[in-house]
Structure 1
Amino acid sequence: MAVLNLSCLGLGYLLLRHWASAALCWAATAGLLVAALPADADGVPQGVLLGYGAFLLLAAADGARRGLRARLSFGTAVRRLALPLAVVLLAVPAGGAVAYASAHADAREEARQQALLARLAAADELVAAHKGEAYATAQADYLKALEEYGAIGTKDAGSRAGKLVPARLDAYYEQVSAPYGKKSYCEALDPLKHLHTLPTLVDEGLLGDRPAGVAEPLAHSTYECGAAALGRSAEPKADGYFSELAADFPQSPYTAKVVPAVRDAVRARVGALTAAGEDRCTATEELRTLRSTAGSVEPLKQELEPVRSEADQGVRKGVFACGTQQFGKKQFAKAAETMDAYAKDYPDDARTPYARSVSIAARVAEEEPEAGKRLPPEDAPGGARMTLVISNDAPSPVDVLYTGPLTGKFTLKACGGCRKYDRVDTLRRGFKACAGASSKYPKVTLDLPAGTYHMLQQRLGTSALSTDQKVIRTKIEPGYTYTTCLYTSSLL
């Protein structure tokens, strides 16, 4: 009776005709089936199993107790078959338990598969959410997605989700490298660098040969960014891109294009120095930057040395061209500054004397625009020369800059015994400066070709920061000798 009750069907109670106890066994077994079926990943709660097991043991013990006391009317043959039959019937709950365990394992495996697929889908959503966005804004989510792809693809490679990871990686590469496909080379640099370094983040066996396919696009983008920055002084500069390219991809065909690209850029700017309508000052600044680029790409420094020398010659030519163009545009202060820099940087150059003349003419024209109608002659005119003697009747020195058919400058020392005239004195009839002995006054003698001259007097004022300036117009005609006297007067 005890063994029959262990069959979970209360058969011992049925033989004893103890209907209430049999019904209780059926109810308990039905309750277990309701709780256990269908089998899922969570299984049957442990409390239910422990309670049902305790109930079976109690039913078996009670069946044994009742069976020992009962008098049954069955024959001897039936009695002999009862125990073997009870043992055979134990296969019912045992088989059910085995079947349930198998179903439970299947359910748990399916739940694991679904969980992995859910993780994969979540990683896919992180990637898809940033389609078309800049890499910088998507980087954090990209890394999270990669972490999931790597974990699923390596630890659970045989799962349904794991078998989908390679396709997800292909899609990931395609999306991240999208700017390169659109020829947005500078925008593509950071995402391509990220893809190039993926072997440090994801198992190389999972990546396969994908990282190798990034090398050429990365080299190409780096070159194009550098080429676009040639001549640009603002960061990022071309030399940074080219140095990185030559260091990381020394055998790339794009590295071989660097020297020709820099050389072509230099020659284009040199050509702009003489082309009509070109800004020669801008071309000169770009040549300076290109000269720096040619000397800064360390891995290619030797190959770029001839290009650097060519750019250096271009800068020299460009500074002079810039100064003359500024003069022609009436930017006289800038022209004087540019030509002074030329004379300082290239003191032994054949054109330096003329650069100084242009600077002088520009300073005069800054005060008297009529003096800047045209550039001063580069060569001194021939023909007769007339004498102009200029004396200083003032207690302060004076610098004189003049331009016309001839351009130059000189300084007259202070007159030791001279004074500053009162304004009233200079207005009286018969007033004449330099009225004393000629030897008293510092003077300079100029031999000038005929023509109109503009002379700028620059006399240091009472303050070290102030300068009195005055422009006078002088016409020199053939066959005459000229004298002029410079003096100072008060305002009253």
Structure 2
Amino acid sequence: MVATPPPPPGPPPGPPNPAQAAAVALLNLSCLGLGYVLLRHWKSAALCWAATVALLVVALPADPDGIPLGVLVAYGVFLLAVAADGYRRGLRATPAALEPPGRRKLVLPVALALLLVVPAGGTFAYGAARDEAIEQQLMDTLTAADGLVKQAEGQSFTSVEVTYNSVLATYQRIGTEHAGSRAGKLVPARLAAYYTSVSLPYTKKDYCAAVPGLKHLRALPGKVDRGLLGSLVGKADEPLAESWFQCGTTTIGSAGQEKTSGDYLNDLTKTFPQSPFTPKIEPTLREGLRTREKALGVAPCDGLAEIGRFRTTVGMLPSETYASLGTDTKRVIQRGEFGCGLDRFKKKEFSEAATAMTDYAKTYPDSPQAAQARNIAIAAEIAEETPAAGNKVPSGATVDGSGQVMVISNDGPGEVELLYTGPVTGRLTIPSCASCKSYPTLLLPVGEKVKPCSGPSSKYPKRTLTLPPGSYQMLQKREGTGTSAGMKKPSNAKIESGYSYTNCLYVTSGF
């Protein structure tokens, strides 16, 4: 068997060549392993290519956040390592590509040029791609914010206020932090659309619904850069003033709106004293009061609650401006309360009439109609037991000392209140008879009748009435005691001229 001769030895290493080593190191820093290509060290070159390809896979497509820091650090360490290895290998190497002396002089300038062109060019290209990715991301964010505005449009502002504030923060961030971007340049137009969306209720003349949104729009200069708002600054002032006026004046008197109406009108007065709507408040409310007063003449009870709420709101307004309106409102309410009680009486709603007129007399004791209100309350109470007492509306007349005398005695336990109505109306109270008891009707002998007030006259508490002639309906209301229950007893009386009358009130029981 013939032995294979060993391969010839390679060329001996040349003298140290720092310039060549630096060139190889710089070529390896180009990200393409060109130093290894120059030395024909293909495995190492392939490793550089693989690392660069891996970097491209991670980096592309460009992300707005850029390449992860860990990847960049790892790749930088790798480049420094292959540069150092290239320097070591190129220090004494004699690559065939550099054998001609003229080429050796060019290798370092070429390496420097490639180092500038390849990494710098790649960095520039990636930066441009990343900028475009950022632009696209900003446009996507802007479009998403626009979509939220569209979704919120038409809904109650308070229910979507959080959404609107979120959108506003997005516009502010893009418009200030990325003012030069395509998205940033669109922000002023988007804010104009935002204003249109939020103020839509005002555009539709839904003034009460418009107030929260317009207050929000008026506060925009405190949340968004004024340069982005442009002509929107102050644009919501007059619409807000009008909405406060319209909502405050149209909802006054509505159930549950007393405070809201007052707040809106006060806000208008304080915030926009020079607005043309401010001086319109008082005459508009006065006209509203006149309309409600006219309605009382048709249905006295129906509008009372509304006018009461109207007065509550007027009471919230500055007294120096609305004192006269407040006085007139009180007058209308007083008239309405009397009219309502009278209307109840005429409609035979005696219980309600009695309550209404009693309250009126207590609330307005100095009213010229207080006496009549008390009399109507008395007649209504009697009419609950004797309907004929409600056939005629009592006047305010009371006993004046002329007429026929009626002496009324109390022969029974418990204080008695006697109500009467006829030519005159009134009530009187007769104290309890301390020594009197109930008459046991079932224990009397057959044929014998109860004989009240048969004892000495001085025994019985008495009261005297002087009544004009005529027919009267009366109601005896006896107070309960420890031995007898309270009771009501209606009766009739006819008073004629030339006579005097006695009336004995007593209590009967079955035992």
Query: Structure 2 counterpart of 1:356, which letter?
Result: R
The within-5 A match list for 1:11-160 is 21=40, 23-24=42-43, 27=46, 30-31=49-50, 34-35=53-54, 40=62, 42=66, 45-67=72-94, 78-79=100-101, 81-90=102-111, 91-160=113-182
Per the normalisation by structure 1, the TM-score is: 0.84
Q: Tell me the distance in 2 between the aligned counterparts of 1:435 and 1:39.
A: 121
Bigger drift between 241-250 and 179-188 goes to: 179-188
User: 2:323 aligned to 305, 308, 311, which one?
Assistant: 305
**Quick check: 1:380–1:405 contact (8 Å CA) kept in 2?**
no
When residues 433 and 153 of structure 1 are mapped into structure 2, their CA distance, relative to the original with a 3 A threshold, is: same
Q: Tell me the distance in 2 between the aligned counterparts of 1:251 and 1:429.
A: 91
How many residues are treated as equivalent by the alignment? Answer: 476
Q: CA deviation at 1:159?
A: 1.0
Query: Structure 1 counterpart of 2:128, which letter?
Result: D
User: 2:369 aligned to 351, 369, 375, which one?
Assistant: 351
Query: Structure 2 counterpart of 1:266, which letter?
Result: L
User: 2:267 aligned to 240, 244, 247, which one?
Assistant: 244
When residues 426 and 348 of structure 1 are mapped into structure 2, their CA distance, relative to the original with a 3 A threshold, is: farther
**1:331-354: CA deviation from partner (whole Å, max 9, x where unpaired):** 323322322232233333322221
Aligned to 1:319: 337
Q: Tell me the distance in 2 between the aligned counterparts of 1:139 and 1:215.
A: 19
Q: CA deviation at 1:420?
A: 2.4
Q: Tell me the distance in 1 between the aligned counterparts of 2:135 and 2:381.
A: 85
Q: Secondary structure at the match of 1:133?
A: coil
**Quick check: 2:399–2:467 contact (8 Å CA) kept in 1?**
no
**1:140-198: CA deviation from partner (whole Å, max 9, x where unpaired):** 22222211211111121111111111122112212222222222222222222122112
Aligned to 2:451: 432
Q: Secondary structure at the match of 1:375?
A: coil
**1:444-479: CA deviation from partner (whole Å, max 9, x where unpaired):** 444444443211001111159963111112234566
Q: Tell me the distance in 1 between the aligned counterparts of 2:446 and 2:107.
A: 150
User: 2:200 aligned to 178, 197, 207, which one?
Assistant: 178
Q: Tell me the distance in 2 between the aligned counterparts of 1:429 and 1:180.
A: 88
**1:388-412: CA deviation from partner (whole Å, max 9, x where unpaired):** 4433322443211011232122222
Per the normalisation by structure 2, the TM-score is: 0.82
Bigger drift between 406-415 and 218-227 goes to: 406-415
**1:425-452: CA deviation from partner (whole Å, max 9, x where unpaired):** 4984454323345555444444444443
Aligned to 1:257: 280
1:452 aligns with 2:471: yes
**Quick check: 2:248–2:265 contact (8 Å CA) kept in 1?**
yes
Q: Tell me the distance in 1 between the aligned counterparts of 2:196 and 2:505.
A: 82
**Quick check: 1:281–1:318 contact (8 Å CA) kept in 2?**
yes
The within-5 A match list for 1:181-260 is 181-232=203-254, 234-237=256-259, 238-260=261-283
Aligned to 1:270: 293
User: 1:360 aligned to 359, 365, 378, which one?
Assistant: 378
Q: Secondary structure at the match of 1:473?
A: strand
Q: Secondary structure at the match of 1:273?
A: helix
Bigger drift between 372-381 and 239-248 goes to: 372-381
1:400 aligns with 2:418: yes
Identity %: 39
Aligned to 1:411: 429
Q: CA deviation at 1:32?
A: 5.9
Q: CA deviation at 1:236?
A: 4.3
Bigger drift between 266-275 and 320-329 goes to: 266-275
Q: Tell me the distance in 2 between the aligned counterparts of 1:473 and 1:463.
A: 29
Q: Tell me the distance in 2 between the aligned counterparts of 1:464 and 1:106.
A: 108
Can you give the 5+ residue segments of structure 1 that lack an aligned partner in the other structure?
A: none
Can you give the 5+ residue segments of structure 2 that lack an aligned partner in the other structure?
A: 1-19
When residues 93 and 287 of structure 1 are mapped into structure 2, their CA distance, relative to the original with a 3 A threshold, is: closer
Query: Structure 2 counterpart of 1:490, which letter?
Result: S
When residues 389 and 12 of structure 1 are mapped into structure 2, their CA distance, relative to the original with a 3 A threshold, is: closer
Structural RMSD (CA): 3.4
User: 2:307 aligned to 282, 287, 290, which one?
Assistant: 287
When residues 14 and 457 of structure 1 are mapped into structure 2, their CA distance, relative to the original with a 3 A threshold, is: closer
1:484 aligns with 2:498: no
Q: Tell me the distance in 2 between the aligned counterparts of 1:162 and 1:71.
A: 54
Q: Secondary structure at the match of 1:65?
A: coil
Q: CA deviation at 1:324?
A: 0.6
Q: Tell me the distance in 2 between the aligned counterparts of 1:187 and 1:464.
A: 66
Query: Structure 1 counterpart of 2:265, which letter?
Result: F
Q: Secondary structure at the match of 1:287?
A: helix
